[in-house]
């Protein structure tokens, strides 16, 4: 069934190319694009299921775990001095040293307001001209968390995700939601008021998954890190994320696709394609530049992030709540079933937190056509 749908998508792609090359009717082109979107979404959903449940999407959890075990086992890692470590203690030390360097030191980019880096960030933000939204109300952002919000967040947790260090799964919280929701509501409100989460909510387990088609598996940088957070922290983060999502569509640019409800990467791909089509129709030259920053979200400086949030006009109280999610955060490596020593996290943003989409590194800028006369140039972004 999935194969036939994918073949249908490829057929629509060929039909779209023919329509564009022959100068077809814009309504026909739009209709084909809409059909392609539906088939593309279906294909994406299938790939996600294949990733989470194995190639055959086996309902047998043991079989799925057995298949994934090969992607998690690390036989050896190479240290900074070139020594190949094979013992559990040696492997854990390599992982810990690498991520202390990446996450545990913090970037000098704007760690101190009085430094030249800090002044450069302040100057950059002061030059940004953001649209004013005087009609926006931020009262809902800073109101106390309710039991209804906690219950809804618990029910929306993904059952296919691994639990955090405490081992409590999303199913556990959903099964006992009526008992847990009132207590979690009280804990969340008290923690946000005090500016510090409980120790268990600040701690995560760091596991490493192999990347496809990587030959040098002894290089720790060639392994993809995954932070396993306790479900109660993810419940709180989802509540704050849902609150800010209602404002994100109005506050952020239309070129922002990450973390915006109703927008996906496919919309961005189609928009780039339309820009290329306009350039081809107008016989204009165009350059398509793709940039990929290594460890982009891991290198985000926290103080710089708080400055960006305030620049967008978010209330200070809500920004302090986001800061609370990161304050005192710790992690430990979990490799081959062995647990390493904890280390502090002073940089980087985690998935599911609203601050991720508001940081410049999480935002995209696109090239659009003005559509007002063939002599007018296309507008884009300024690279600094």
Q: Which residue has the tokens 């090359």?
A: 21
Range name among 39-48, 78-87, 90-99 with the lowest pLDDT average: 39-48
Q: Is the pLDDT of residue 251 over 90?
A: no
What's the pTM value of the predicted model, to 2 decimals? 0.71
User: pLDDT of 338-379, one tens digit each?
Assistant: 999 999 998 888 755 555 555 544 444 443 333 333 333 334
User: pLDDT of 92-131, one tens digit each?
Assistant: 999 999 999 988 776 554 445 555 666 777 788 888 777 6
């Amino acid at each position: 069934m999935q194969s036939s749908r994918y073949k249908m998508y490829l057929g629509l792609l060929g039909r779209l190319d023919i329509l564009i090359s022959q100068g077809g009717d814009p309504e026909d082109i739009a209709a084909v694009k809409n059909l392609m979107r539906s088939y593309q979404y279906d294909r994406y959903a299938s790939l996600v299921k294949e990733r989470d449940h194995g190639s055959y999407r086996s309902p047998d959890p043991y079989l799925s775990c057995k298949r994934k075990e090969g992607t998690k086992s690390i036989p050896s890692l190479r240290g900074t001095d070139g020594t190949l470590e094979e013992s559990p203690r040696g492997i854990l030390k390599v992982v810990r040293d690498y991520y202390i360097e990446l996450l545990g030191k913090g970037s000098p980019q704007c760690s101190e307001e009085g430094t030249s880096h800090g002044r450069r960030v302040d100057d950059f933000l002061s030059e940004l001209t953001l649209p004013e939204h005087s009609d926006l109300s931020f009262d809902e952002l800073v109101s106390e968390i309710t039991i209804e919000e906690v219950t809804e967040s618990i029910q929306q947790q993904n059952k296919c995700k691994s639990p955090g260090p405490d081992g409590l799964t999303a199913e556990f919280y959903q099964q006992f939601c009526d008992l847990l929701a009132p207590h979690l509501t009280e804990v969340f409100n008290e923690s946000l008021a005090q500016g510090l989460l409980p120790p268990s909510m600040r701690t995560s387990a760091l596991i490493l998954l192999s990347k496809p088609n990587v030959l040098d598996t002894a290089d720790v940088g060639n392994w993809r890190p995954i932070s396993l957070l306790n479900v109660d922290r993810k419940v709180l983060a989802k509540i704050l994320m849902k609150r800010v999502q209602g404002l994100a569509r109005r506050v952020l640019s239309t070129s922002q696709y990450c973390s915006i409800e109703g927008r996906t990467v496919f919309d961005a791909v189609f928009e780039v394609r339309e820009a290329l089509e306009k350039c081809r129709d107008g016989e204009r030259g165009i350059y398509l530049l793709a940039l990929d920053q290594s460890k982009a979200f891991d290198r985000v400086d926290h103080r710089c992030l708080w400055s960006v949030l305030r620049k967008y006009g978010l209330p200070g109280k809500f920004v302090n709540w986001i800061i609370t999610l990161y304050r005192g955060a710790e992690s430990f490596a979990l490799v081959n079933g062995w647990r390493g020593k904890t280390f502090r996290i002073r940089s980087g943003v985690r998935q599911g937190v609203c601050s991720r989409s508001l940081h410049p590194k999480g935002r995209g800028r696109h090239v659009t056509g003005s559509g007002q006369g063939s002599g007018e140039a296309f507008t884009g972004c300024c690279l600094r």
